[in-house]
Structures are given as C-alpha cells and as structure tokens.
Homo-oligomer: A and B are copies of this chain.
C-alpha cells in the first residue's frame, strides 16, 4: 500500500471517530434537520466531481463529469438551503397576540 493510501486510512479512521463523538444525544425534533445538514456535507464529493470535470477529455468522460457536478451541486446547494428552511422554527417566539 502506498504511504498516501495508509495516510488516507489513518485520516479516515480519525475522522470517523470525530463523527461518532461529535453527535451526542439529539432531540427528535432535530433528527430531520441534522440528517439533512449531514447529507449536504456528504456533497463534498462535489470536489471530486469538479476535479473530474476539469480534467475530462472525450465525450463520455465529459458527460460523466458533467452529471457528477450537477448531482453533487444539487446535493450541496439544495441540502444546505432546505436545512436552513427547516431550522427557521428555532427562533424564540416573542410574546404576541395571535
């Protein structure tokens, strides 16, 4: 195995632990927003897609890369936006007549 690959494994394991530990007890009301936010983060694959698109040569490769970028961007942009919408409710309501 290449040193980079091994370094990758080390990083993978450590990041995994961070992921496990960073989430403590989450109130159920936050389950969906948290899932949605995490999902948007998994759109990091956009970086891969962009790299591929930047280097792509040939019809098929370009098409692949294009779709990869589109898909990843949908995930990222849509994901963060929708999460924010869901979280709008977490603003303290002022006392008000209805």
Contacts and interface: CB of A to CB of B under 8 A. Distances in A.
Given A3-B4, A7-B11, A17-B18, 13 more contacts: A7-B7, A10-B11, A11-B11, A11-B14, A14-B14, A14-B15, A14-B18, A17-B22, A18-B18, A18-B21, A21-B21, A21-B22, A24-B24
Contacts of A17: 18, 22
**Is chain A's binding surface mostly helix, strand, loop or mixed?**
helix
A11 B9 CA distance: 11
Chain A interface residue bracket vs B: 10 to 19
Contacts of A3: 4
A32 to B, nearest CB: 23
Interface in A1-35: 3-4, 7, 10-11, 14-15, 17-18, 21-22, 24
